[in-house]
Each structure stands twice: as structure tokens, then as C-alpha cells.
A and B are shown apart, each in its own frame.
Chain A
Amino acid sequence: MVQDPIFDPVAILVWGIDAGVFDFMNSRWGWPIAEIVHFTGICLLIGAVGMFDLRMVGLVRGLSLKALHRLVPFGVLGFGLSAASGLMFVVAAPDQYLYNPAWQVKMALLAVAGLNMALFYLVASRRVALLGPDDSPPVAARLFAAVSLASWFGVIAAGRVITAFRPPSWFWCAWCA
């Protein structure tokens, strides 16, 4: 039996049972409802952040990025919905996710997307806000947009194949003893 020094799936599951998440997720409509919320959140995220990125990468023109940025709160809402429902999946069946290669890749891509976003706001967002509707964004901004699109669509792809890489048939734990 491998020892996981970081995550304790049993403790997570016990917490999930105590918090009622486990019962909800295993009720007749719990899991489907969480899945609906999860993908609805992703659609909101792509609708706001993805469309902003399409403009910033240069595939869509004629829109002020500063004005288009007003869509982003809906992307944040979408991310919140997906994160909350995603957490419920993990809490309801921790061993099926923590050691799943596809899930680990998904989390890594999520980190790339997050880091990319943080860097964008730190480095490029101020210059982008000054651009007119017909201006081409600077190369750095276009790069941030491309990485954002690639990582979010990567997140979707990795998420979609989580069921193909289920433990115990698949078991990744680089941090285990």
C-alpha cells in the first residue's frame, strides 16, 4: 500500500460524509446536477474569458478590450460554479481524482491558466486597457491570450477524459512514498 504524505483520501471522504456532500452526490440527481453546474460554469468562462482572449489574440477585431472586460465577472462566476461543483466531485470520491492522471494534468493546466492570468494583470493589462477598438494588442498581450485559450481548452480536454484514467487501473502519485 502506497503512503500519501500530502493527501488523506479517507479523511477527505469522512469530511465529505459529515458535511453531507457524499450523500448529496450519491442521491438520484446529485451527481448529474453537479455536472450540469460544472459545464455551465465552463461555458460562462469560455463565453467571457475565452471571447476576451479571441479579441486579444487578434482573431476578432473592432472591440475595445477595456469595454469587453466587463464580461469577465461572468467568467469569474463561471469559474466559481465549476470550482465549487468540481470540489464536490473530489470530496465525494477523492481516490478517483487525486491519483487520476487526467485530473492531475487538468489541475496542472488550471495552474498554468491561473499563473498566466496573474502575469497578464501584472504585466500587460494596463497597456491593453488603453487600446482603442481597432488597435492591435501588443505581442505580449496576444501571447497571454493564446496561452489562456490553450490552457482552458486543455483543461476541458483533460477533464473530459478523467473517466478514462480511473484508479486503480491508472494510478499516478509522484509524491507518494
Chain B
Amino acid sequence: MAALAWIEQTRLSLFVREDFYAYFVLLIFHAWGMALLVGGGVAVSLRVLGIASGARLERFRGFLPAMWLGAGLAVVSGLGLLAGYPAKALTNWVFALKFACLIGAAVLVARIAREVLARGEPVPPRGRLMAAAALALWLGGVACGKLLLYTNSILLTTD
């Protein structure tokens, strides 16, 4: 808690809380990043599951840079949001669950890229399983992210 209280007094933290635009600009970038990251993840999963099977499997690697861009936007803006209200997120188990989902999904996508997209057809049964799990984890991460606004017990350490 002492560390969180210290973060709350940093200039960045105060700026995120007190500037009218900062918080909303961060929210916009976070939503853009998550939509790109999860959107790309959805497209890759659907393809591995057999949707749009006429489109070349290997070339779905082409969507990975969009997902990296999304991840970069989401992480940087997310760190900004976290700097503003560290105690709100870090005392909430839903925040941990969000990260479990997203890290799990990212690990699965990395494996799908190596073991499925790079090798091309046919998709191994394990590939489909990984794609289905990644899809579920992406959407679980989104759900947890949305729940953060409703499940926090405190906003600041001074609460």
C-alpha cells in the first residue's frame, strides 16, 4: 500500500487524474489497442477454426503486426491508466484475472503462429483447440476489462 500511495503522488499519476483530457485520451488509445489486439486475435482464431478457409493460412501472419500495434497501444495507455489509479486496479482480483486471460491468449497466439500458421495446412487438431481457447481468453480478457469499473473496492489508497 505504501508503494501505491507513493505512485499516486508522482507527477504522472496526478496528471492522469487532474488533467481533463489525459484520462480520456488514454481511454481512447486503450480501446483502440484492445480492439486491434483482440480483433486480430479473433480473425486468426476463426481462420484456424476453419472460417474463411479459402484464404491462405500462412498469410494470416500478416495480421500479427496489427496485433503488436494494438498490444503496444493497450500496454502503454494501460500503464498510464494504472499510474492514475494504481490502488483501484492492483487491489482488485478481476485485474489479475484480466491479465491471466490476456497473457494466456497471447501465449497461445505465439504458439499458433509458430506451430500452425508457419507450417500451413493441414491444421492439426491441437491447433483448433488452441484457437478456440485463445478466442475464449481474448473475450474473457475483454469482459474482465469492462468489469474493472464495477468491481473495484477502492479508488485511491486514501479511500
Contact = CB atoms under 8 A, between A and B. Distances in A.
Nearest to A153: B32
B75 interface: no
- Could you say which interface size class chain A belongs to? 35 or more
A54 B142 contact: no
A40 B24 contact: no
A68 B52 contact: yes
A54 B55 contact: no
B63 interface: yes
A115 to B, nearest CB: 21
B66 A62 contact: no
Given A36-B146, A51-B66, A161-B24, A43 B55 contact: no
A118 interface: no
A116 B20 CA distance: 33
Interface in A23-41: 29, 31-32, 35-36, 39-40
A43 B38 contact: yes
A176 to B, nearest CB: 26
Interface string B116-159: 00000000000000000000001100110111011000000000
Contacts of B11: none
B34 A43 contact: yes
A71 B32 contact: no
B76 interface: no
Contacts, number: 122
A67 interface: yes
Interface residues of B, number: 38
A28 to B, nearest CB: 9
A157 interface: yes
Contact of A61 (B35, B42, B62, B145): B62
Nearest to B59: A62
A59 B53 CA distance: 20
A156 B62 contact: no
A66 interface: yes
A86 interface: no
Interface of A: 29, 31-32, 35-36, 39-40, 42-48, 50-51, 54-55, 59-64, 66-71, 74, 133, 153, 156-157, 159-161, 164
8 contacts: A39-B142, A43-B34, A44-B39, A46-B42, A54-B63, A133-B56, A159-B31, A161-B24
Given A45-B39, A47-B43, A54-B63, 19 more contacts: A32-B147, A32-B149, A36-B142, A43-B38, A46-B36, A47-B38, A47-B42, A51-B43, A63-B59, A67-B55, A70-B53, A70-B54, A71-B43, A71-B52, A133-B55, A156-B28, A157-B28, A157-B32, A160-B24
Interface of B: 20, 24, 27-28, 31-32, 34-36, 38-43, 46-47, 51-56, 58-60, 62-63, 66, 138-139, 142-143, 145-147, 149-150
